[in-house]
Structure 1
Amino acid sequence: MMSTTEIEEPIEEDENEMDPQPPRLSHKQSFDIEAAISSRVDESGQKETCEERSTLSKLYRAALDDDWQTAETIFDSHEDYVKASLSKLGETALHVAASAGRIDFVKNLLGYSPQVLKLTDYFGQTALSLAAASGNLDLVQLMTEDNEHLALDRESVDQYLPIHAGAMSGHKEVVLYLYSITEGQLDNKDLIELLIILIKTDLYEVALRLFKDHPQLATLRDSNEETALHALAGKSMMSSYLANQNQQGMLQNFFSSANVGSTKLSLSHTVLEQAITLVEIIWKEVIRSQDSEISTLIERPFQLTFVAAEKGNIEFLRVLIREYPYIISKHDDMGRTMFHIAVLNHQVKILELINEMGSMKDRIVSRRDYGGNNILHMAGMQPSNEGPNVVFGAVLQLQQEVLWFKKVSEIVRPVDAEARNYGLQTPRELFTQSHRSLIEDGQKWMRETADSCMVVATLVATVVFAAAFTIPGGNKGDTGVPIFIEEASFIAFAISDAVGLVFSATSILTFLSIRSSVYSEEDFLWRVPGSLASGLASLFMSIAAMMVVFCATSFTIFHGRLPWLPVLVTVISSIPVLLFIRQYHRFFANTLGVLQLSSFV
């Protein structure tokens, strides 16, 4: 394969840069073109002149801006510039245009000099690889129209092909096209690399087609010694939407699930079905092997069932267990099974899977690790890392911990709920010990929040109390009756002032109660979220009422004189209410969600 004309001087590597292949710059990003032009050296070893540098810079811009006329003029004067590397990455004009998706420029350049298709940059990438990575199908088809063999060209067997570049960027149509013109020509090494890339980029439809064409890929490993099952184990068998919801917490999932659109769910279901189907057909191929071979496959380079359990990939585990029940007995070096690991990491759907085990359920829930811990002990431990169901704040996190412990306790036998581990601790005692610091953090946060909110509630109470004795417009001198007593705005003033005073006083009393109380872990399931929700709701109502008092006063005084002024005041006074909602809406969502879920425990 031809390489780019050596016009640049070698690039000096920074001794602190250990990665031999730094990421390639994207031409879609804005950057200094002059900085991308490297120092060039002519055949005599002399550095390029200012004129040559200016010409190269102009050529770079022309390729980037789809300006073929300028580029053709340069090529007519400097034929070697067709193959010249224009940047420190060794990119030629074709590389630059292909990365930027300039199809007209590429078409003209190929007509001018077809040989440039074989040129590579300093990383051994052809322009076809860059076009595939950019997802420009028309450009890929143009380059391979009369040169299908280019889809298999590379400088060494360790480099990825254009089809791999397209798959890594998630471009389905590009991958399907390149697969159609390379079908039957890819070796097993390329095929397994492609299959794993397709799995990691969620291109399950293409992965299904590839595996059905090449079922031998079930047991092959890539350069990292991973099989397709290892790649699938690390995936979440759910849509990106549901995954995002799961990261917000199981409580918020329940609370917001009603807002999911039917169209998005149908698309998610299709992707989920494709992923599960891929697991099924690969696993059926794997279990044709001997038991020893199956064990070796799933345990090297890491135990894939434990990764799936840790990440909550329950659909993946369900398929494996259904076809090969023996897999549930696999344990790690601490004696923990996939169920121990899933419960430790708060994977909610593992409870459904355990309930589906039938007669094996009692064996699963009573199984102990080398420390004598059953799965309820696992639920009593605090995860070392923040799993997908951990929400913000010590209070809400502890709230979920208590709820999770109660949910797991529902599926264990009474004897297991009171069983002691080798440290002589029951699950409840282990829960209290492992969450002691979290309880202290929660109590501290509660007191600090109560103090802050009491200050605000006291200020609101002071304002609305004083407003009751400062009648807008004044009183009639002979009777003391307010002058604007018959105005609707004055009635709104009186009512909102009373509402503000009542709710601010309620908020003060609620937060005072929170401030002076001592809570156990059980209180964080009902009492704490209930008190916080009540106090914050009262504070919100008092602030809103205070704003209404202010607006009503403006309407009372200025109505009929400056009609635009009360409207402006109303708009401005709504800002504090909106800020309050913005600050606490996530807290309310999680709190209401846990209160609703707690009613089922």
Structure 2
Amino acid sequence: MDDMSTTSRVLAPSGDPSAISMRQQPPPPIYITYGPPPAPPPLPPLSSSELFIRAPPPLSHPCQDLLSGREDYINTCVPLYQASFNGDWEAAKIILNKRSELVRYSITHNFDTALHIATAAQHTKFVEALVELMDAKDLELQNIHGNTAICLAASAGNVEMIRTMVHWNKRLPTIPGAQGMMPLYMAALVGNHDSVNYLYDDSDKMTGDFWMHRNRVWVLIKCIEADLFDIALKIVVDRPEVAPNVGVLLALAQKRHAFDDMKPNIFQGIVKSIEVKLGDTEARREAMKMKLVRLIWKNIMRMPKKFVDELLRGPHDTMMKNGKAVLVMKDGKRMYSSRILFVAVEMGNTNFVIELISQYPELIWELNDNNQSIFHVAVSHRQERIYNLLYDIGSMKDMITPLKDPEGNNMLHLVGKEAEKNLLQNVSGVAFQMQRELLWFKEVEAMILPSLREKRNAAGLTPHELFTENHKQLVSKGEEWIKGTANQCMVVAALIATMVFGVAFSIPGGYHQDTGLPMFIRKEIYIAFVISDAISLFSSSASILMFLSMLTSRYAEQDFLEVLPKQLMIGLATLFLSIMTMMVAFSFSFFVLYHNMLIWVPISIAVVAAIPVILFAKLQYPLLMDIYGSIYGSRYIFKPKKHMLQNRNPRW
């Protein structure tokens, strides 16, 4: 029977203070017929050194008298557990009417009360009814891991249950749970906005006996990680001392999409402005993102320069050796792979980088452990928006681009190294990924000094040799992808050409026996039929020639830049035109035959004939647009029209 005692939502006690887990040792099948309550999402671990409270308060455990006797355990604990777990208030009420003191008794060997079980199973109505039978002190009872019921509600993000419990006992949000974590921190871990917002407003700006500076910083970090920027902004305003922290800056640096305020068009910008003015919640959160980073950076810039530099340098690298963390050293120097600015560059967090540089211009000269600038790192990680900042610094770029890493690689060598797959995930098709790599190579080649273009690295390779060596597999995959696409499309084009060619000699209505002319030669609809059939034949033939040309291409590196993409685009466009005109000719043939009577027949057929055309367009349109964008849109990736560093007017 011990098995049934451990079904509860708890904070794992084994050295992982942030991992809220679902202990699931199900009770015997004879008693429980439903599955366990859902566990919250997995949570990031904290180091064992992150202790939250000065001295843990004594645990307030419920009465364990029922656990000692097997008869009481079977006759009382099991039924009450089942009722609480299943949210069966009528069954629980019968038990509690007989023994009202059971609300403060442990009903599992994990010291869970009925309130713990019902909260873990998220039965809100059951919890609301149960707390009315409890004293305020009963709500402070903790299970074996130190969790009150509100800790479990916070970890589940159930704001209704949190409100219910706080209504009956205002002290609950200030009582630490397992590993000394506050309910607010637990709610921030799972990222439920309403729960975090309610608990923060109720925390009196995170004051109390068990709130420390470290607690507040970790709550701020988790709010940033969960995109709760409005709450994070409130914390920074209320507690400005938490802003100058490495963890806070790292969390902001890694939020690439959060600070990406690119506006694709004027219309979307107008819509967003209207949403902000009308009070749209999501739009307001969006507007707070850049305001948050500006406020935090403003607070940091008030600190001494030495402190700011150490903050931006990030934590030093460590490694485990003989069970102990030791410093990572290289040539007698400490290594710092988590430099704030470079982390933001790797993530493509352009606006964060611009904000830092605009207020601290010296960062433009910052180098990492490999003697690389932010622009070298931007090239390595294919972050074109950050790379484009080179156009904002004028002739200073000629002092940055010649830098070499310890292996003798200059900026063009870095393009020669194949980009990671996740960096090219926004480029559809292997062939267009190769095209993007070629665009990068040509752009950087034009940017650096001519004398660097043929420089050899420590391995004796020029940038172009390194590019060719590292992109062999991408070229091979691109060739395979294009040939597969061309083969399939050419089969379709050949079938269409065969059909429309045959139709040209078996026209609707047949021929006059005397003259040999078509029966409906004087009908305008017949002329439209002939023209559409001819267009379908010519376009399908052109499509076949394009795909045949792709199959016989030499597939050199430079072919992926323009030749192959253009051939593929023309082939797909002519194939679509042939399909469309074929269906038009098919529809016109029925209008020719039934133009005097049963007109609904050709109309119905024309409507149905539009379905395959629309379907093909819908399925192939994304690919066609990707091809068009790769050919003509890619020229706007580099060389921005306006300066980003020199135009820092807030967009929100």
Structure 1 length-normalised TM:
0.80
What does 1:498-517 align with in structure 2 at a 5 Å threshold?
498-517=534-553
**Which amino acid in 1 is paired with 2:196?**
V
Q: Does 1:399 align with 2:425?
A: no
Task: After TM superposition, give the deviation of residue 501 of structure 1 in Å.
Answer: 0.3
**Which amino acid in 2 is paired with 1:262?**
I
Which residue pairs with 1:463 in the alignment? 499
Which residue pairs with 1:247 in the alignment? none
Which residue pairs with 2:175 in the alignment? 153
Contact 1:89 1:121 survives alignment (8 Å): yes
Which residue pairs with 1:361 in the alignment? 397
**Superimposed CA distance per residue, residues 404-441 of structure 1 (whole angstroms, 9 cap, x where no aligned partner):** 22333343233333433333433333323322222232
485, 488, 507: which is aligned to 1:452?
488
Q: How many Å separate the matches in 1 of 2:142 and 2:240?
A: 34
Q: Does 1:281 align with 2:301?
A: no
Contact 1:239 1:272 survives alignment (8 Å): yes
Task: After TM superposition, give the deviation of residue 326 of structure 1 in Å.
Answer: 5.0
Q: Measured at CA, do residues 331 and 563 of structure 1 come closer, stay the same or move farther in structure 2, by a change above 3 Å?
A: same
Q: How many Å separate the matches in 2 of 1:541 and 1:297?
A: 58
Q: For structure 1, which runs of at least 5 residues remain unmatched after alignment? A: 1-5, 13-17, 27-31, 221-225, 243-252
Q: How many Å separate the matches in 2 of 1:569 and 1:122?
A: 73
221, 242, 249: which is aligned to 1:229?
249
Q: How many Å separate the matches in 2 of 1:526 and 1:460?
A: 28
Q: Does 1:113 align with 2:134?
A: yes
Q: Measured at CA, do residues 562 and 76 of structure 1 come closer, stay the same or move farther in structure 2, by a change above 3 Å?
A: farther
Q: Does 1:384 align with 2:406?
A: no
Contact 2:244 2:300 survives alignment (8 Å): no
**Which amino acid in 1 is paired with 2:413?**
H
Q: Does 1:314 align with 2:334?
A: no
User: 2:176 aligns to what SS in structure 1?
Assistant: coil
Q: How many Å separate the matches in 2 of 1:274 and 1:101?
A: 36
Task: After TM superposition, give the deviation of residue 551 of structure 1 in Å.
Answer: 2.5
Which residue pairs with 2:444 in the alignment? 408
User: 2:377 aligns to what SS in structure 1?
Assistant: helix
Q: How many Å separate the matches in 2 of 1:580 and 1:273?
A: 42
60, 68, 74: which is aligned to 2:85?
60
Q: How many Å separate the matches in 1 of 2:141 and 2:186?
A: 17
Which residue pairs with 2:187 in the alignment? 166
Task: After TM superposition, give the deviation of residue 273 of structure 1 in Å.
Answer: 1.8
Task: After TM superposition, give the deviation of residue 58 of structure 1 in Å.
Answer: 4.4
What does 1:98-497 align with in structure 2 at a 5 Å threshold?
98=119, 104-114=125-135, 115-120=137-142, 124-133=146-155, 135=157, 137=159, 139-156=161-178, 158-182=179-203, 183=205, 184-185=207-208, 186-220=211-245, 227-236=247-256, 238=258, 260=268, 262-264=270-272, 267=283, 270-285=287-302, 287-290=304-307, 293-294=310-311, 297=314, 299=316, 302-325=338-361, 327-328=363-364, 330-358=366-394, 360-387=396-423, 390-485=426-521, 489-497=525-533
Q: Measured at CA, do residues 464 and 523 of structure 1 come closer, stay the same or move farther in structure 2, by a change above 3 Å?
A: same
Which residue pairs with 2:57 in the alignment? none
Contact 1:309 1:317 survives alignment (8 Å): yes
Contact 2:539 2:578 survives alignment (8 Å): yes
**Which amino acid in 1 is paired with 2:495?**
L
User: 1:193 aligns to what SS in structure 2?
Assistant: helix
**Which amino acid in 1 is paired with 2:402?**
S
Which residue pairs with 1:577 in the alignment? 613
**Which amino acid in 1 is paired with 2:511?**
N
**Superimposed CA distance per residue, residues 275-323 of structure 1 (whole angstroms, 9 cap, x where no aligned partner):** 4314413531555445774476454573333322211123323333444
Contact 1:458 1:508 survives alignment (8 Å): yes
**Which amino acid in 2 is paired with 1:364?**
I
**Which amino acid in 2 is paired with 1:160?**
M
**Which amino acid in 1 is paired with 2:253?**
A
Contact 2:148 2:177 survives alignment (8 Å): no
**Superimposed CA distance per residue, residues 337-394 of structure 1 (whole angstroms, 9 cap, x where no aligned partner):** 3322211111011123223335532221111111222222212321134216642321
Contact 2:155 2:186 survives alignment (8 Å): yes
Contact 1:234 1:307 survives alignment (8 Å): yes
Q: Measured at CA, do residues 73 and 478 of structure 1 come closer, stay the same or move farther in structure 2, by a change above 3 Å?
A: farther
Q: How many Å separate the matches in 2 of 1:422 and 1:62?
A: 69
**Which amino acid in 2 is paired with 1:236?**
R
Q: Measured at CA, do residues 491 and 52 of structure 1 come closer, stay the same or move farther in structure 2, by a change above 3 Å?
A: farther
Which residue pairs with 2:34 in the alignment? 34
Q: How many Å separate the matches in 2 of 1:116 and 1:547?
A: 76
CA RMSD of aligned residues (A): 3.9
Task: After TM superposition, give the deviation of residue 510 of structure 1 in Å.
Answer: 1.1
**Superimposed CA distance per residue, residues 93-148 of structure 1 (whole angstroms, 9 cap, x where no aligned partner):** 54565567765543332211135522456764433234445555454333223522
Structure 2 length-normalised TM:
0.75
Q: For structure 2, which runs of at least 5 residues remain unmatched after alignment? A: 9-13, 25-31, 38-65, 277-282, 319-337, 639-652
Contact 2:260 2:349 survives alignment (8 Å): no
User: 2:447 aligns to what SS in structure 1?
Assistant: coil
Q: How many Å separate the matches in 1 of 2:356 and 2:101?
A: 59
Contact 2:371 2:403 survives alignment (8 Å): no
User: 1:35 aligns to what SS in structure 2?
Assistant: coil
Q: Measured at CA, do residues 589 and 33 of structure 1 come closer, stay the same or move farther in structure 2, by a change above 3 Å?
A: farther
Q: Measured at CA, do residues 54 and 564 of structure 1 come closer, stay the same or move farther in structure 2, by a change above 3 Å?
A: farther
Task: After TM superposition, give the deviation of residue 397 of structure 1 in Å.
Answer: 0.3
Q: How many Å separate the matches in 2 of 1:100 and 1:475?
A: 80
**Which amino acid in 2 is paired with 1:281?**
K
Q: Measured at CA, do residues 292 and 458 of structure 1 come closer, stay the same or move farther in structure 2, by a change above 3 Å?
A: closer
Which residue pairs with 2:646 in the alignment? none
Q: Measured at CA, do residues 8 and 515 of structure 1 come closer, stay the same or move farther in structure 2, by a change above 3 Å?
A: closer
Which residue pairs with 2:94 in the alignment? 73
Contact 1:237 1:276 survives alignment (8 Å): no
Q: Does 1:520 align with 2:541?
A: no
Task: After TM superposition, give the deviation of residue 395 of structure 1 in Å.
Answer: 0.5
Contact 1:443 1:518 survives alignment (8 Å): no
Task: After TM superposition, give the deviation of residue 531 of structure 1 in Å.
Answer: 0.9
Q: Measured at CA, do residues 276 and 482 of structure 1 come closer, stay the same or move farther in structure 2, by a change above 3 Å?
A: same
User: 1:36 aligns to what SS in structure 2?
Assistant: coil
Q: Measured at CA, do residues 483 and 285 of structure 1 come closer, stay the same or move farther in structure 2, by a change above 3 Å?
A: same
**Which amino acid in 2 is paired with 1:167?**
A
**Which amino acid in 1 is paired with 2:230?**
E
Q: How many Å separate the matches in 2 of 1:258 and 1:592?
A: 22
Contact 2:365 2:373 survives alignment (8 Å): yes
Q: Measured at CA, do residues 152 and 50 of structure 1 come closer, stay the same or move farther in structure 2, by a change above 3 Å?
A: closer
Contact 2:236 2:296 survives alignment (8 Å): no
User: 1:372 aligns to what SS in structure 2?
Assistant: coil
User: 2:474 aligns to what SS in structure 1?
Assistant: helix
User: 2:555 aligns to what SS in structure 1?
Assistant: coil
Q: Which has the higher helix share?
A: 1
Contact 1:382 1:435 survives alignment (8 Å): yes
Q: How many Å separate the matches in 2 of 1:43 and 1:89?
A: 13
Mean Cα deviation higher: 528-537 or 427-436: 427-436
Mean Cα deviation higher: 295-304 or 201-210: 295-304
Q: How many Å separate the matches in 2 of 1:208 and 1:42?
A: 47
